[in-house]
Structure 1
Amino acid sequence: ARGGTRYLSGPAAQDYLDVPAFQRSGIEVAWMDYSGYPDYPQLWGAFEPAVSIVDLLLNVGEDAQRYLDRSS
């Protein structure tokens, strides 16, 4: 309805996303690559990279932007 032509999704959605349905509607599906981002301090245990952006925000707060820049 908004004229979008590309849908960017996390890689876990490859298990359930109906990619052909997007393609039939003229929408390309692309998969996000989360590699290359630095580890950040998490409250419990060893670093777990397969979590949501909410984890980053709740663990580092206003410093989150620093962890989103892959060139840092």
Structure 2
Amino acid sequence: MAAYEQEIKQYETKMRAAETMTGLLTAMSSWQSFADSRGLSAEERRPVDQAYMEAEARLITQVKPTLW
């Protein structure tokens, strides 16, 4: 994991910084391609996957009233 540790942290940061669902989904797609191509284990994927779930929950609860 050490070889990819910095890149994993960058993906984690991207997830946490996402301001739109489109941005979050794009980051997740990129992350999945990266993780799959490197054969990362579930344990190695966990920090970024957790960041994704937290960002998704945050974005879902920030729905603007003007959209209704």
So what's the TM-score if we normalise by structure 2? 0.31
Higher strand share: 1
Higher helix share: 2
Higher normalized contact order (CA 8 Å, seq sep 6+, divided by chain length): 2
Larger-Rg structure? 1
So what's the TM-score if we normalise by structure 1? 0.30
